[in-house]
Amino acid sequence: MHGLFLAELRRSWALFRRYPGEVVTMLVSLVLVFLMLFWGVRYVAGPGSGALGDRLDGLIVGYFLWSVATLGLNGVGWAVQGEAAMGTLEQLFLSPFGPARVFLTRVAADLVVQLGVLLTVLGSILLITGRTLALSPGVVPVMVTVVLAAWGLGFALGGLALRLKRIPSLLQLSQYGLLFLVTTPWEDWGDTGRWVGAVAPLAPGAALLRGMMARGEPLELADFVIATLNGLAWLGLGLFLFHLAERHVRRGGGLAGY
Amino acid sequence: MTRPRAEVLHAEALHKRYRSDGREVVAVGGVSLTLEAGEVLAFLGSNGAGKTTCIKMMSGLVRPDAGTVRVLGRDPHQDARALTQVGVVLEGTRNLYWRLTSQENLEYFGVLRGLSGRQARRRATVLLERFRLSDRARTQAQELSRGMQQKLSIAVGLVHEPRLLLLDEPTLGLDVEAAEEVKVLVRELASEGCAVLLTTHQLDVAQELAHRVCILHGGRVVAEGETQALLARFSAQRYVIQLEEPPSHARLQSLQSLGASAQGGEVTWPGPAEGLYGVLQALAPLPLLRVERDRADLTEVFLKVTRPEALPPERG
Domain ranges of chain B: 7-233, 237-293
CA distance B283 to B287: 9
In a domain, A45, yes or no: yes
Q: Which of B62, B121, B161, B168 to mutate to test the interface with A (most CBs of A within 10 A)?
A: B62
At B75 the three-state DSSP class reads coil
Strands (E), chain B: 7-20, 23-36, 40-45, 66-71, 86-89, 164-168, 195-199, 212-217, 220-226, 239-243, 261-263, 266-269, 288-293
Q: pLDDT tens digits, chain B, 316 residues: what are they?
A: 454 468 999 999 999 998 877 888 889 999 999 999 999 999 999 888 888 899 999 999 999 999 999 999 999 999 999 999 999 998 766 789 999 999 999 999 999 999 999 999 999 999 999 999 999 999 999 999 988 998 999 999 999 999 999 998 888 878 888 888 889 989 999 999 999 999 988 888 888 899 999 999 989 999 999 998 888 888 777 889 999 989 998 999 999 999 998 988 999 998 888 889 999 999 989 999 999 887 778 888 888 888 766 555 544 3
Domain count for chain A: 1
- The answer to whether the beta carbons of residues A189 and A175 sit under 8 Å apart is no
Closest by alpha carbon to B31, among B61, B9, B3? B9
- The answer to whether the beta carbons of residues B8 and B196 sit under 8 Å apart is no
Q: Do B113 and A250 touch (CB under 8 A)?
A: no
Q: How many residues does chain B have?
A: 316
DSSP letter at A186 equals G
Q: Which of A6, A91, A102, A162 to mutate to test the interface with B (most CBs of B within 10 A)?
A: A91
Predicted confidence (pLDDT) per residue in A77-133, tens digit: 888 888 888 888 889 999 999 999 999 999 999 999 988 888 898 899 888 888 887
- pLDDT of B316: 37
3-state percent helix, strand, coil for chain B, nearest multiple of 5: 40, 30, 35
- pLDDT of B187: 93
Give just the sign of the alpha carbon dihedral B171, B98, B125, B192: negative
Could you give the count of Cα atoms lying within 13 Å of A16 in the half-sphere of its Cβ? 16
Q: Do A96 and B83 touch (CB under 8 A)?
A: yes
Contacts of B105 (CB under 8 A, 6+ apart): B96, B97, B141, B152, B156
In a domain, A258, yes or no: no
Same fold, B7-233 and B237-293: no
DSSP letter at A220 equals P
Mean pLDDT of A229-252: 94
Q: Do B83 and A94 touch (CB under 8 A)?
A: yes
Q: Do A7 and B100 touch (CB under 8 A)?
A: no
- Count residue pairs from A and B with Cβ separation < 8 A: 96
- pLDDT of A40: 81
- pLDDT of B309: 62
User: CA B270: distance to chain centroid?
Assistant: 31
Residue A22, amino acid: E
Q: Which of B63, B65, B99, B111 to mutate to test the interface with A (most CBs of A within 10 A)?
A: B111
In a domain, A233, yes or no: yes
At A8 the three-state DSSP class reads helix
- Mark out the alpha helices in A130-183 (DSSP H runs): 139-164, 168-183
3-state percent helix, strand, coil for chain A, nearest multiple of 5: 85, 0, 15
Q: Do A11 and B117 touch (CB under 8 A)?
A: no
A26-59 as b/e: b if 16+ CB within 10 A = bbeebbeebeebbeeebeeeeeeeeebeebbbbb
For A84, the closest chain B residue by CA position comes to B94
CA distance A96 to A102: 10
Cα distance from N-terminal residue to C-terminal residue, chain A: 29
- pLDDT of A186: 81
Which of B18, B92, B99 minimises the CB distance to A252?
B18
- Mark out the alpha helices in B192-306 (DSSP H runs): 203-209, 227-234, 249-258, 273-283, 298-306
CATH superfamily, region B7-233: P-loop containing nucleotide triphosphate hydrolases (3.40.50.300)
Predicted confidence (pLDDT) per residue in A39-61, tens digit: 887 777 665 555 555 677 778 88
Residue B301, amino acid: V
User: CA B291: distance to chain centroid?
Assistant: 29
Q: Does position A196 have pLDDT exceeding 90, yes or no?
A: no
CA distance B117 to B299: 45
Mean pLDDT of A128-156: 89
Could you give the count of Cα atoms lying within 13 Å of B124 in the half-sphere of its Cβ? 22
In a domain, A87, yes or no: yes
Q: Which domain holds residue A67?
A: 2-252
- pLDDT of A138: 84
Q: Which residues pair with B226 in a beta bridge?
A: B212
- Other Cβ atoms less than 10 A from the Cβ of B138: the count is 9
Predicted confidence (pLDDT) per residue in A205-233, tens digit: 988 988 888 888 888 899 999 999 999 99
For B59, the closest chain A residue by CA position comes to A94
Contacts of B287 (CB under 8 A, 6+ apart): B243, B244
- A172 to chain B, any CB pair closer than 8 A? The answer is no
Which one of 3.30.350, 3.30.70, 1.10.3470, 3.40.50 gives the CATH number of domain B237-293?
3.30.70
The alpha-carbon radius of gyration of chain A (Å, integer) is 19
